[in-house]
């Protein structure tokens, strides 16, 4: 039976792999972009660099990392750090597009536009998360256990609420969040967001 444990620095490569294998609305995104690492550079690894204490791994019986949850308790502070400290190291690798037309260019532009105020839901729901599980883990209640582990820690810290953004094409994830009692929040066109208040 897989276990849930805290993140370790040795899991970093697995974060990239899991993120990539689930990035296309829950499906494998290998080869969709010119650089497969972009998914993890945006949506997984910065979180464990900034908040290793808010990251948990699903570990298989054979010791492989096969899922994770990562989070920040303060989205605006995280995006300030992302803008000022994380993303500048990637400017040469991912030059800012003059006009973001393709999926890859829109993702790169997303990296350049992170900062405080980038998300409209942070006042009431300051925390946010990313959760990714390889197909072999799904249907075993592991996603719910990851979410419950994170929520308990955020409540312990006195965080008032959490939001998340997702690909609207990932209908399975939307149903999962709704089963957990999360409510749909306002979001920019082309996106979908959910939130939950604690306490």
Name all domains of the chain by residue range, CATH numbers in brackets: 3-197 (3.40.630.30)
Give 155-160 contacts, CB < 8 A, sequence gap 24+. Answer: 155/198, 155/199, 157/73, 159/73, 159/126, 159/127, 159/198, 160/124, 160/125, 160/126, 160/197, 160/198, 160/199
pLDDT at position 68, please? Answer: 98
Mean pLDDT in the chain?
95
The residue ranges of the chain whose pLDDT is under 50 are none
pLDDT at position 120, please? Answer: 87
Model pTM score: 0.94
């Amino acid at each position: 039976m897989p276990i849930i444990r805290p993140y370790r620095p040795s899991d970093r490569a697995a974060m990239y792999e899991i993120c990539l294998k689930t990035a296309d609305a829950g499906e494998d995104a290998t080869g969709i972009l010119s650089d497969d690492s972009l998914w993890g550079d945006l949506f997984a690894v910065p979180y464990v660099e900034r908040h290793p204490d808010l990251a948990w791994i699903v570990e298989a019986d054979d010791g492989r990392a096969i899922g994770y949850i990562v989070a920040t308790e303060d989205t605006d502070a995280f995006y300030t750090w992302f803008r000022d400290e994380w993303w500048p190291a990637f400017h040469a690798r991912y030059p800012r597009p003059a006009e973001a037309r393709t999926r890859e260019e829109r993702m790169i532009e997303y990296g350049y536009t992170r900062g405080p105020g980038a998300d409209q839901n942070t006042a009431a729901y300051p925390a946010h998360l990313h959760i990714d599980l390889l197909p072999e883990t799904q249907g075993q209640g592991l996603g719910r256990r990851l979410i419950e582990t994170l929520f308990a820690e955020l409540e312990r810290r006195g965080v008032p609420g959490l939001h998340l953004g997702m690909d609207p094409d990932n209908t399975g994830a939307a149903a999962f969040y709704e089963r957990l009692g999360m409510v749909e929040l306002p979001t920019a066109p082309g996106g979908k967001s959910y939130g939950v208040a604690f306490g």
